[in-house]
Amino acid sequence: MTNDELKQAAEAYLSKEEHPVFRQEVETLLRAANWGELNERFYTTLSFGTGGLRGTIGGGTNRMNPFMVRSATQGLADYVNATVTSGASAVIAHDSRNYSDLFALEAALVFAANGIKAYLFKELRPTPVLSFAVRRLGATTGIVVTASHNPPEYNGYKVYWSDGAQVVPPHDLGIIARVRSVQGQSRTMTKEQALARGLLVEIDEEIDGPYCEMVKAQSLRPQLFPSQGPRVKVVYTPLHGTGVTVLPRIMKDLGINLSLVATQAVPDGNFPTVSSPNPEEHSAMELAIRQATAERADLLLGTDPDADRIGIGVPWKGEWVLLNGNQLGALLTDYVFSSLKELGRLPAKPVFINTIVTTELHCLIARHYGAQVFRVLTGFKYIGEKIRQFEEGTEGLQYVIGGEESYGFLFGDSVRDKDAVSTVAITIEMALWHLSQGRSVMEALNALYEKYGYFQEILISKTFKGQAGLETMKTFMANLRTSPPQKVGTLSLVKLLDYQKGTTRGPDGSVHKDIDLPSSDVVQFVLDDGSTVTVRPSGTEPKIKFYASCRAAGGLPLEAAKVEVSAKIQGIKVALDGMIPS
């Protein structure tokens, strides 16, 4: 954009943005003639994608601010009113991030001004509570203001439909079209007006109570909590987020000795004790590890700011080991299916779901117990969509459990998004069960490896910032499709799966359209030993993610299997480091 175009775009934004903080940012940049920064803020409009909004907080059309929230919500309101003839309603929740409460209120007031009854949580609440509330209140749609585990400069919101899951076709594309047609004009009203007209209803305990009861009722072996619970100490960190609002309450009811990391139990959008509030990262769990070590705890758990992802640590050979999402998912899949079978409660047609970048180990375990396995694209909305399809279908399929490698799981179907709160409960129960059987959590995991084969996965993320970064990402993905590497490390490429085209290219060069999933910008390499490498641009961040998974055969001694697989992983990592553009 030229400087004149940038000035016009900035002035147009200022004519519609009312919040002084965001106005001042842009006014200061204009006075300083900081055209480089103005270009980053105005060269495009923050994209409303298939899941909603996410971006850096700040003034400008390429930032998260009240104006962009109102504009996006106006488009969503237009779609709701065009889809539902009467009685439309929406539920809005928010996490602990900076301005989350403001953005949630702005969204609620836009709904109210468009005649859509808005249920607004009085205070921050986890994402799974929002999903539960949409179903509980029979709402048409829902929004949770969050940027999940992203760094503190980010915020955003995710959109849900009446089934409690994030929107999928046709609603997602319909909403996007409406948002694009808004052109910055949105309706709103004051909070006082909305309350007086009954178009804004503030909620808390009427949802919190039933949600907490639901989580406790999902227990498969409730007797474990009174019999084994007093023997264990659990250290928990909410990482300055929403988990603190409901999880300690549930643990107290279950009789679990929960020790909070006090400095991280205070909601704070600046996340002052961590560089990134992501329980996947060791640095985010360091304070909890120190406390768990000092208190000689038996289990360490953490949730991200909107409490939909869970991190877990277990003591092993005198040290704390942080399990990854694939490892925890294997333990939970085995515990849930084995327990249901032993208790005679396994459905006639049980279903397990995970994603194309999640370990195959989960699938092997689920199939062992007679479950039908479905693999979907990355994004928990696709798991939520499958659950709805099973409910509406006539085949009698019943969802049991599912998850993603990125620490997101869902047991049962009362919520339709990943739920770290209920996952904490079932994880503690799983640990208590193994304790009652005389084994540790790590011993249980190693037993799974010995039975099904040792698996190891890595994830490499590369960030590409700004306009130039987006172009680099597009070029890189295009080149992977047209000129894929014939070897990755020491392993040869035998199949190339292109999820954008829905095709598989075989070793003889033949191409078959055989992938029955929605089109997605994902490329997956299948190597000659069964290892896989998946390349996927993030749908919520300016980065490309590289997933690699390697396996050794079942029955191989565990230490030998680890050496074999680690060598393969290292070779793949070196090869990927050479492929990724700088």
Q: Give catalytic residue positions.
A: 148
| DSSP string for residues in 401-461 | EEEETTTEEEESSSSSS--HHHHHHHHHHHHHHHHHTT--HHHHHHHHHHHH--EEEEEEE
Residue 295 has which token pair? 């208190």
Identify the H or E element spanning 479: helix 466-482
Q: Does residue 405 contact residue 359 with C-beta atoms inside 8 Å?
A: yes
Question: Which residue matches tokens 């999820």?
Answer: 499
- Coil, strand or helix: which one is 542? coil
Interior angle at CA 493, CA 487 and CA 494, nearest 5: 160
Phi-psi region of 190 (alpha: psi -120 to 50; beta: other; left: phi over 0): beta
Which residues 6+ apart lie within 8 Å of 255 measured at CB?
Answer: 225, 226, 229, 230
What is the distance between the alpha carbons of residues 521 and 293, in angstroms, rounded to a whole number? 43
What is the distance between the alpha carbons of residues 367 and 182, in angstroms, rounded to a whole number? 48
Q: Does residue 254 contact residue 422 with C-beta atoms inside 8 Å?
A: no
Strand partners, 438: none
